[in-house]
Amino acid sequence: MDDKLVIRGIEFKSRLWVGTGKYKDFEETKRAIEASGADVVTVAVRRVNIFDRKSENLFDYIDPKKYKILPNTAGCYTVEDALRYARLAREAGISDLIKLEVIGDEKTLFPDTCGLLKATEILAEEGFIVLPYTNDDPVMAKRLVDAGAAAVMPLAAPIGSGLGIRNPYNIKIILEQAKVPVIVDAGVGTASDVVVAMELGCDAVLLNTAIAGAKDPIVMAEAMKHAVIAGRLAYKAGRIQRKLYATASSPIEGML
């Protein structure tokens, strides 16, 4: 079944996208990402350690030729900072892809959507393929697309919270309106949360902590891989209607 996700002409093999943060070490990062089957990995932009050049680099373990590298602007609280990090990421990397974050609050890490909209507009104008991390607000999702976002990435719940999709109805409305792919980003806790997102019709799920923070990240990565596939297939298959009363599966005819 040919069911590939395409964003601005870029073909993605997997509908599971994963982060590379919070792992015990690079070896665990590598093994978890391999087990997840994801072909997109997110990374952050940070200062090079100029005093310890012997220290290992993420790309010694994650081959950028094998994976699509999606840099983020995590930790940016202003439009100016987000633009600065995005531009540095493009110069350090090989593509125009950017997971745009403009954070509005330290405790919830909810996006500052006013700043996000502004930054999306500027970066789209500069030729970036902007994938904004936003809240589950259908109106804002629409505005971001109008501003040039290549996809919208509404949160399921606060980053790292593991609460799962807190507002499936809003996600559904975003999906109904969207002219671009919708990727649930942040807040999923376990495989069933991923299945819910995919059954709603989301195009992909991006997660980090749910795998990295699990007791066994490698096994959870594999569970997430199956969850995305199961949810997508169920969505494509079309589920039965919910009913209050039973309908027998075995025939009445031929009973004694």
Can you give the binding site for another protein, defined by CB under 8 A? 19-23, 26, 29, 42-48, 50, 53, 57-59, 69, 71-72, 74, 84, 87-89, 91-93, 159-160, 186, 207-209
- Comparison of 48 and 234: residue with beta carbon closer to another protein: 48
Name the region of 127 (left: φ>0; alpha: ψ -120 to 50; beta: rest): left
Measured from the CB of residue 114, what is the shortest distance to another protein in angstroms? 23
Single out the catalytic residue among 99, 107, 142, 215.
99
Query: 60 and 26 in contact (C-beta within 8 Å)?
Result: yes
Which of 241, 157, 232, 242 minimizes the C-alpha distance to 198? 232
Question: Tokens in use for 256?
Answer: 């004694």
Shortest Å distance, C-beta 158 to another protein: 12
Minimum distance of another protein from residue 1's CB (angstroms):
30
CB 159 to another protein: min, Å: 7
Q: Are 153 and 177 contacting, i.e. CB atoms less than 8 angstroms apart?
A: no
C-alpha span between 2 and 231 (Å, rounded): 16
Rounded CA gap, 73 and 120, in Å? Answer: 12
DSSP secondary structure string for all residues of 198-230: HHHT-SEEEESHHHHTSSSHHHHHHHHHHHHHH
Active site residue 99: yes
User: From residue 90, how far is each of 153, 163, 231 by CA, in Å?
Assistant: 20, 32, 33
List the end-to-end C-alpha distance of the chain, in Å, as a whole number: 45
CB of 181 to another protein, least distance (A): 19
Please identify every residue annotated as catalytic.
Answer: 99
